[in-house]
Structure 1
Amino acid sequence: MPITRKFRFEDLEIWKLSVEIGDALFDVADSLEARKLFRFAEQLRGAGLSISNNIAEGSGSTSNREFDQFLNYARRSVYECANIIIILQRRNHITEDMRVTIFNKLDEISRKITSFRKVLNPKPPMP
């Protein structure tokens, strides 16, 4: 039986959560696409996928500093998703309840990415 290697990112809680959020965003995108709102669907899928992609790509970095840059990109994608969700709700393409549910998930991943970045790059103690 072949040995299955795991990638570093597969054990990261932030990656697992980002995949869950990506699934939820894909569901929204699918419903948008069904209503022929292709541009919104495409943008939301791309931004949602970018969160987990950047975490995965950054985990392959050879330095914490480089990984930190990718985590910053992932966090910025969270904000892009939040902006798209606001516009979708304002345009009545999603409900307020759906916006709140997605915002709670986006807020959670944003906070966890920020916390992970602090652990990855701790500040030296003050002299």
Structure 2
Amino acid sequence: MHIYSFEKLDVWKEAINLAVNTYKLTDLFPNDEKFGLISQMRRSAISISSNISEGTARLTNKDKAHFMTLAYSSALELLNQSIISKELDLISVEQYNTIRFEVESITNKLNALRNHFTNS
């Protein structure tokens, strides 16, 4: 089996894990959030790893950096939605802190990767 370059990145692996965890967490949300926070959080979570993988396929470092910025933005979008979910008592403080910790780790790695592409 061929391994693509993005599959070797720890940040991509963490983003996949965050997406899976987001799906499991939002499964517990009330059904009336199906087209609200559930949909938004899942799309944001998936967008992180998707932009990382798409960015690694780009030819120029400027394009690669741009997709890392998009992934970073999606991570912050997920964090914002998690804050709202916590405020609405849809997730616990512990669940929120777990997401926040994962997002911080991912955004730190994305920032380093973006800087690498920008300065290369």
Q: TM-score, normalised by structure 1?
A: 0.88
Pairing partner for 2:22 from 20, 25, 40? 25
Aligned position for 2:98: 101
Give 5+ residue unaligned stretches, structure 1: none
Question: Match for residue 12 of structure 1?
Answer: 9
Counterpart check, 1:41 vs 2:38: yes
Letter in 2 for 1:117: R
The one of 70, 74, 79 equivalent to 2:71 is 74
Alignment: residue pair count: 118
Pairwise CA distance, 1:73: 0.2
Deviation at 1:81, TM superposition (A): 0.2
Q: TM-score, normalised by structure 2?
A: 0.93
Q: Whose Rg is larger?
A: 1
SS at match of 2:89: coil
**Larger RCO: 1 or 2 (CA < 8 Å, sep 6+):** 2
Unmatched 5+ stretches in structure 2 = none
For the residues of structure 1 that align with 2:113 and 2:68, how far apart are their CA atoms?
9
Q: Name the counterpart of 2:89.
A: 92
Task: Give the match for residue 114 of structure 1.
Answer: 111
RMSD between aligned residues = 1.1
Alpha-carbon distance, 1:74 to partner: 0.2
Amino acid at match of 1:112: K
Q: Shift of residue 14 of structure 1?
A: 1.0
Q: How much does 1:119 deviate?
A: 2.0
